[in-house]
Amino acid sequence: MDKDILESVLKRNWKESSLEKIVSVESSPAVAKNLNFLSTVDRLKLKSILGNGKVVNKSLIIKLGTNPNEFQSEFNGRYDTFRKEVMMYDTLIKIEHLMEEFEDTEDILWCKMVHHIPYSCIVLEDLKAKGFHMAERGQFYDLDHALLAVHSLGRYHGMFKTLEARGLSPQGLKTWFLFDNEEMHDYFYWDMTALKDGVQRLWDPSWTPIVEKIKITKTEFHERLKKFAELDESKFNVTNHGDCHKNNIVVKYGWDKRPIAMRFLDFQLVHYGSPCIDLTYMFYLAVDPFVRRENFDLILRTYHNSLVNTLDKYNFQGNKPDLEEIKDGMEKYSFMGLMLSLTWHPNFLQSEKMEELRDFDKIAATEGKEGYADEGFHPEILEKNIGPDIIAFVDRFCSDS
């Protein structure tokens, strides 16, 4: 076809399918209550007219940096969450260019940013309109989901490491928020203490001598978590997502209802460090605990294969971690993983009842002595999920003294 004719045809086609006018906009919450703590996230439904006169419905996601309480305001200011997320979306565009350069035809692992107002508003494409969905409340990943999740995370880490080698990765990233925030450590400690008390009162008496061994102090909590903030430059380090639990991942399914694609959301807590930080977070706050325990090595090998294959695909010339380094990293962060299972897994399991089960103001005012409802610790809900993790935590981190 003649070049001028082709140009004319494409211009007409693109004009006909482009937005001409927005007729109306409706806004509604995009995520369920208690599933987003750092932003207000709404879905905008647009009735629009295209260049060819056709009326269509479109949708977008808008994130607003509103701070309804003092904790959110302080947290967003301390960790510069909105600026960090905008910086990440700018970086993700560079990764898309990298994918084009190496003819990587796998799906991208994020949604596209449409617009932002520095640094209070971000407009994003709506992945729900493309068939992506979040896991149901109280549901965690089976093996198919877990393997796809760590494969996706391996790709994500590999692409960012390649970008780092080119001097194009995000700059100025600090340690992970979970390691240097003593107020967060206090809540972990109070949640652990409340769990111990709940188990003693509500579970079978055979659990009492087990949880009584949990004698770790708040100071020990602080010291253990702050120690993780130290960057080991002799090891393989990457740009971490920083918050890759199941509520920040959306999934697309094939004809057989098996997961075929995943996208990561919320890049407000990115940091630089061991890839095992992201991996541990995902293992303990996205994967079903039984699936994690029964398939730990398989899931870990799947991640490592994805990471190394991605680095090879992009011709990365630096040192690549072997599987033993990844295993050692997971062992290093096992305290963090088991601690997350015992303190945050119950919250994720019953997030729709969080306000009923935890009165955060009362917890803070009484330093964890009040504010927890017994329903949050009932054994029929928790024992099969975290019972083995309680035993593992006691065996590995609690002395008999």
Q: Is 211 helix (H, G, I), strand (E, B) or coil?
A: helix
Q: Is the pLDDT of residue 129 over 80?
A: yes
Q: What is the pLDDT of residue 64?
A: 85
Q: What is the pLDDT of residue 401?
A: 46
Q: Tally Cβ neighbours within 10 Å of residue 253.
A: 13
Cβ-Cβ contacts under 8 Å for 97 (sequence gap 6 or more): none
Q: Is the pLDDT of residue 141 over 50?
A: yes
pLDDT in tens, 274-325: 999 999 999 999 999 999 999 999 999 999 999 999 999 999 999 999 999 9
Give the pLDDT mean for 46-60.
89
Give the pLDDT mean for 27-32.
85
Of the listed ranges 39-53, 102-116, 280-294, 308-322, the least confidently predicted one is 39-53
pLDDT in tens, 168-209: 998 888 889 899 888 889 999 999 999 999 999 999 999 999
Please state, rounded to an integer, the average pLDDT across all residues of the chain: 91
Q: Is the pLDDT of residue 136 over 80?
A: yes
Q: What is the pLDDT of residue 296?
A: 98
Q: Where are the alpha helices (H) located in 203-288, listed in sequence order?
A: 208-211, 218-227, 275-285
Q: Is the pLDDT of residue 122 over 70?
A: yes
User: What phi, psi does 18 have (nearest 5°)?
Assistant: -90, 160
The percentage of residues in the chain with a pLDDT greater than 70, rounded to a whole number, is 97
Q: Is the pLDDT of residue 35 over 70?
A: no
Q: Tally Cβ neighbours within 10 Å of residue 313.
A: 17
* Choice between 349 and 390, residue whose per-residue pLDDT is larger: 390
Task: Pick the closest to residue 357 from 337, 378, 384, 338 (CA basis).
Answer: 378
pLDDT in tens, 54-78: 898 989 999 987 665 666 777 887 8
CA dist 21 and 48 (Å) reads: 6
Task: Pick the closest to residue 31 from 133, 140, 149, 139 (CA basis).
Answer: 133
Q: What is the pLDDT of residue 351?
A: 81
Of the listed ranges 15-19, 25-29, 54-58, 384-388, the least confidently predicted one is 15-19
Which residue, chain included where needed, has tokens 């008999």? 400
pLDDT in tens, 317-372: 999 999 999 999 999 999 999 999 999 998 888 888 888 888 988 999 999 999 99
The percentage of residues in the chain with a pLDDT greater than 90, rounded to a whole number, is 70
β-strand partners of 22: 48
CA dist 380 and 203 (Å) reads: 9
CA dist 34 and 348 (Å) reads: 10
β-strand partners of 25: 46
